[in-house]
Amino acid sequence: MQANDVALPSGYTIEPVASGLNYPTGITFDDQGTAYITESGYAYGEVWLPPKLLRLNPDGSTTQIAAGDKNGPWTGATYHDGFFFVSEGGQLEGGRILKISRDGQITRLVEGLPSYGDHHTDAPVIGKDGYLYFGQGTATNSGVVGTDNYHYGWLKRHPSFHDIPCKDVILNGQNFTTYNPLNENDKDEASTGAFLPFGTPSTPNQTIKGALPCSGAIMRVSLQGGPLELVAWGLRNPYGLAFSPNGQLYVTDNGYDTRGSRPGYGAGDVLWTVQTGQWYGWPDFANGQPMASDDYKTPHDDPKFLLAKHPGTPPKPAAILGVHSSSNGLDFSRTTSFGHVGEAFIAQFGDMTPNVGHTYGPVGFKVVRVNPTSGVIEDFAVNKSKMNGPASLMKNGGLERPIAVKFNPSGNALYVVDFGVMPMTEEGPAPKQQTGVIWKITKTAAR
Mean pLDDT of the chain: 94
pLDDT value for 368: 98
Contact 329, 335 (CB under 8 A): no
Q: What is the pLDDT of residues 176-220, one digit of tens each?
A: 999 999 998 878 999 999 999 999 999 999 999 999 999 999 999
pLDDT of 261 higher than 70: yes
- In a 13 Å sphere around the CA of 265, the CA atoms on its Cβ side amount to 15
What whole-number distance in Å separates Cα of residue 119 and Cα of residue 111? 16
- Exposed, middle or buried, 404 (CB in 10 Å: 0-12/13-18/19+)? buried
pTM over 0.85: yes
360 falls in which pLDDT band (50, 70, 90)? Answer: low
Q: Is the dihedral of CA 38, 44, 47, 48 positive or negative?
A: positive
Answer whether residue 359 shows pLDDT above 70: no
Tell me how far apart the alpha carbons of residues 139 and 115 are, in angstroms, rounded to a whole number: 7
Q: Give the model confidence (pLDDT) of 146-179 as tens digits.
A: 999 999 899 999 999 999 999 999 999 999 999 9
pLDDT for res 426: 78
Can you give the pLDDT at residue 295?
Answer: 73
pLDDT of the residue at 298: 66
Q: Please write the tens of the pLDDT for every residue from 63-101.
A: 999 999 989 999 999 999 999 999 999 999 999 999 999
User: Domain 3-156+210-443 classified CATH 2.120.10.30?
Assistant: yes
Which tens digits make up the pLDDT trace of 414-429? Answer: 999 999 999 888 778 8
CA–CA distance, 213 with 208 (Å, rounded to integer)? 14
Rounded Cα distance, 330 and 324, in Å: 17
Q: Is the model's pLDDT at 356 over the cut of 80? A: no
**So what's the pLDDT on residue 184?**
82
Do the beta carbons of residue 36 and residue 30 sit within 8 Å? yes
- Residue 148's H or E segment, with its range, is helix 147-151
Does position 363 have pLDDT exceeding 90, yes or no? no
Sheet of 307-309: strand order equals 207-208, 169-171, 307-309
Of 173, 255, 158, whose CA–CA distance to 206 is shortest? 173
